Amino acid sequence: MRSTKASAAVERLKTRSTDQDYSMVRTADGLFYLVSLTDAGVSEPLCEPLEMDAFVAFVNGVGPQKARRVSKLDVAFERQLSGKKN
């Protein structure tokens, strides 16, 4: 099993959060878990070992979230949708 998807999720998390250092660990069973590295070099597991898709979903929910870009057209479209009645 390739872990590119999981490692890309951890890299996105590292760019979103600048105050903590994260790393991914892969077990012999092919499961993944996220660890937080401290200044003393100790790693603290942040979740139980998960399958790749569940791990990516978990990592995407950790840390600060990236603000969604909204254009003027998106705002106008949302306004039109909310103005219509069923």
What are the sequence ranges of the domains in the chain?
A: 4-83
Q: What is the pLDDT of residue 16?
A: 84
Burial class of residue 34 (count of CB atoms within 10 Å of its CB; 0-12, 13-18, 19+): buried
Q: Other CB atoms closer than 10 Å to residue 23's CB: what's the count?
A: 13
pLDDT recorded at residue 2: 66
pLDDT at 85: 57
Judged against a pLDDT cut of 90, whether residue 32 lies above it is answered with: yes
pLDDT at residue 36, rounded to an integer: 87
